[in-house]
Structure formats: C-alpha cells, structure tokens
Amino acid sequence: MSALGMTATLAGCGSSDGSGDVTLELVAADYGDSRANSSQKYWDTVVKGYETAHPGVRVEVTVYPWTDVDRKVAERVAAGRAPDMAQIGAYADYAAKGGLYSADQVLSIPVQADFVSQLTEAGQMNRVQYGMPFAASTRLLFFNKKLFADAGLTPPRSWSELAADAAALKARGVKFPYALPLGPEEAQAETMQWLLSGGDSYTDDVGTYHLDSTENVDTLTWLKNELVGKGLTGPVAPAKLNRADAFAAFARGEVGMLNGHPTLMKAAADKGVRFGMVPMPGVNGRAKATMGVADWMMAFKHNGHREQIGSFLDYVYSEKNVLAFSHEYDLLPVTTSASQAMSADTHDKEFAPFLGELPTSQLYPVGKTSWASVSADIKQDIGKAVGPGGSPAGVLGALQRTATIRDSTD
C-alpha cells in the first residue's frame, strides 16, 4: 500500500504538515549528465507539488555535482550553517556527532516502514536509523550478446566458466574479454563484488573489518593468476581502468563481460550494443549475494524544523516521486511500494533482474564512520594486488591494519 494512501501515524512527535512560515534548505547531489536532466529539474517539480499543498512551508534546493556535494555539506556544517536536509553519499560522520534526527523522529511510521529492509539496516548506526535511503542499485554481470554468439559461448555460471569465456573472447581479438575496473574512481565497488562472489566481504557478521580473510586473499589471488596474469582483462592495467571508461568501452562493443548497474543498460542500448545480464558467478556456481549501493538522505537538527522536515520527506518518499526519480536516472526504488509497482509494470521489465537482487544484496559498511577513509585506501591500493609483482595477501594485510587503526580512532 502506498504510504500516502494511509493515515499518517506519527512516530514520536513525528511529522505534520508544518505550521507557520518556514523555509527549509536541502542540499542534493546531481544525478544528471546534462542540464536537460539535471536533478534540479526533478526537485523543482517535487517542491512545487509540496508547496502547493503546504502554503506555510517553502523549500529551497541547491544541487551540486557529486564531485562537490559532500564537501559543500561538510563546509556548511563546519561553519555552523547546516542545511535542514542533505542528500549525499554518507551519513555516519554526522550521526556520530549527534547532528542528525533519527528517521523515526521525522518520518511517519508508514513511510519509514516502506523502505526496503536491506537499505533500512544499512542506514543504521548502533541500531538506530539515521540514513534514509534515497537511491539504490545492484550489480549484474553484463555480456555482449554478439561477441558471445560469434564465439559460441553461453553466459558463465562459475569462475572457471568466466575465465574460459574470457579466453575464448581473447582468442577472437576482443579488446577487453573481462573489464576489471580497479582504478581510483570506484575500485571499492568492483572489489566488493568479487569478494562477495568468493564468499566473503569487507566485514564479518558483526561488522568488524576483515579485509585479509582467507577467502578474500583467495579471491584476489584467483583474479591475479587466472584473469589478469593471463591477459584476459584487456590492454589497460586494472589499477588504471576506471568504471566510466570500462562502461564506455562496453558501449563501443569492445568488452565481452563486466559488472554493471542499471544505468549501463541505456548507455549500451543507445549505441546499439545487444547485451544480456546474469547474476555474478561464484566460485562453483552463482554467487550467494550481489553488491547493493545506496545514497542517503539525512535530516539535520541545527535549525530545529523537525515537523516541517518530516512533512516534506513524507511527500518526497511517496510512491509517485520515488518512481519518477528511479525512471529518470535508471536507478532502483528504495521503497517496497515503489519496487512492487515497478515490478508489476511491463514497461520496467528490464529492471526486474536488478530488483530481484536487491533484497539479498550486501551494502558497503556505511554505518561505520571509518568507511570513507577505508574506502579511499581501497581505491588507491587494491589494484596493486593483482598487478605484476603484486601480492594479494600483502596488499589486503596492509589495508586491514590501516582499517583497524581508522576504526579505533574514528
């Protein structure tokens, strides 16, 4: 049931429609790639609809590129000018310092309960939800149907099949049989996807870093020996290949296989590339979990506009608005109601495989204040593990030691 189709039962003092003349400030990230699809246009539409129904509240939205938005919010908070809301990449630092309302302090119960459970859990610190998911995606293995057909291949279901397919593609002159982007743009994502397919991740079941686990060392060792060492990852060293460049190469028809998220579908289709998508293979069969990614909305206490913030966010998370954003930017809905609506819509059938992975996906350990620093370390160093002379055990061991220190001091 849509959250807006229910009578709003407030959590705590909860959210109301606001009273008095109040101006809310929201700083948000831009998901568009041009002025034509800037997120500012999306927010302008949302704000217009909200203000029409709530004449006592004005909402001002400032949109920044992803390269700037986290820094802009941090600067404002440091200067004592925190916005009422921020929609950015991480919430943990602000929650740890007591600067955020918890989700149940601002959202009505139906709206908070509508979040996909995996995303709710990822938004928690010490079992209290501060991060409200705003956009989500999962990963699947994309493959070029023409290149596979020409080589007589079927999509891989295990690591050994993936390596065999990559070898066959290389023999036919494919430039990137498997594109392995471990460059600094998003190496932490590609790495986590492979660690999951090897049966582990960055943290254990209680949230403690264990980057250098036996399973993780085995995973990177296999990548180094069976893909990179055999020349199956293309002419660009994984440590220097960024995700955007790998995606662009796939859209040019130069890549046989790579891990991708929903936005790659449109980029490839626009260039006429016929592609298929399958779950990421594991060691001996399908991987137990895929990687999920979410961006976050947070509500700051600084200006004290709790009720008005809650009223606006209840509107933001209506099924209509969540679906509009997901459709505009080829991302997955963060609410159950919108996910069910997308699954039932035949026009959205291409999203079905990604939606199917979301409930069991694993997300970055974003509830740890140390994650931003640990993620940066992974981006910088992980590519060395699979390069010439690299040591998976050595690189992961060094990253683990640094992660332990960062986790104890943050």
Q: Are residues 204 and 239 in the same domain?
A: yes
Give the mean model confidence (pLDDT) for residues 260-285: 95
pLDDT at 170: 98
CB atoms within 10 A of CB 235: 9
Give the pLDDT confidence of 197-221 residue by residue, as tens digits.
999 999 998 899 999 999 999 999 9
Residue 16 has pLDDT above 80, yes or no: no
Could you give the number of structural domains in the chain?
Answer: 2
* Among 220, 225, 239, residue whose Cα is nearest residue 396: 220
Give the pLDDT confidence of 378-395 residue by residue, as tens digits.
999 999 999 999 999 999
Confidence bin at 410 (pLDDT 50/70/90): low
Q: Are residues 174 and 40 in the same domain?
A: no
Q: Are residues 238 and 382 in the same domain?
A: yes
Using the 8-state DSSP alphabet, how is residue 349 labeled? G
In a domain, 11, yes or no: no
N-terminal to C-terminal alpha carbon distance within the chain: 40
Structure tokens at 321: 């608005």
Give the pLDDT confidence of 311-325 residue by residue, as tens digits.
999 999 999 999 999
Confidence bin at 177 (pLDDT 50/70/90): very high
pLDDT at 208: 95
Q: Are residues 107 and 170 in the same domain?
A: no
For the entire predicted model, the pTM comes to 0.87
Pairing of strands 85-88, 22-29: parallel
Q: How far apart are CA 362 and CA 246, in angstroms?
A: 23
Residue 108 has pLDDT above 70, yes or no: yes
Q: How far apart are CA 258 and CA 176, in angstroms?
A: 9
Q: Are residues 357 and 237 in the same domain?
A: no
Give the CATH number for residue 386. Answer: 3.40.190.10
Tell the residue number behind the tokens 């929201």, with chain if given.
26
For the chain, the 3-state helix, strand and coil shares in percent, each to the nearest 5, are: 50, 20, 35
Top pLDDT among 338 and 286 is at 338
Q: Are residues 166 and 283 in the same domain?
A: yes
Residue 17 has pLDDT above 50, yes or no: no
Count Cβ neighbours within 10 Å for each residue of 190-229 and write b for 16 or more, e otherwise. Answer: bbbbbbbbbbbbbbeeeeebbbbbeebbbbbbbbbebbbe
Give the pLDDT confidence of 39-54 residue by residue, as tens digits.
999 999 999 999 999 9
Give the mean model confidence (pLDDT) for residues 337-353: 94
Q: How far apart are CA 253 and CA 401, in angstroms?
A: 41
CB atoms within 10 A of CB 33: 11
Give the mean model confidence (pLDDT) for residues 228-239: 98
Q: Are residues 227 and 179 in the same domain?
A: yes
Residue 234 has pLDDT above 80, yes or no: yes
**Domain of 353, in residue numbers:** 22-137+292-362
Q: Which helix (H) or strand (E) holds 61?
A: strand 57-64
In a domain, 39, yes or no: yes
Q: Are residues 144 and 287 in the same domain?
A: yes
Residue 103 has pLDDT above 70, yes or no: yes
Helix (H, G, I), strand (E, B), or coil: what is residue 167? helix
Q: Are residues 193 and 203 in the same domain?
A: yes
Contact 314, 107 (CB under 8 A): yes
* Among 97, 17, 92, residue whose Cα is nearest residue 55: 17
Contact 106, 13 (CB under 8 A): no
DSSP string, 103-163: HHHHSBHHHHHTB-HHHHHHTEETTEE-PEEEEEEE-EEEEEHHHHHHTT----SBHHHHH
Give the pLDDT confidence of 75-94 residue by residue, as tens digits.
999 999 999 999 999 999 99
How much of the chain, in percent, has pLDDT values that exceed 70?
A: 95
Residue 32 has pLDDT above 60, yes or no: yes
In a domain, 13, yes or no: no
Q: Are residues 273 and 336 in the same domain?
A: no
pLDDT at 12: 35
pLDDT at 5: 30
Q: Is the dihedral of CA 176, 179, 181, 182 positive or negative?
A: negative
Give the mean model confidence (pLDDT) for residues 156-171: 98
pLDDT at 296: 97
Confidence bin at 20 (pLDDT 50/70/90): low
**Which of 326, 343, 362 is the last residue before a domain boundary?**
362
Q: Are residues 127 and 145 in the same domain?
A: no
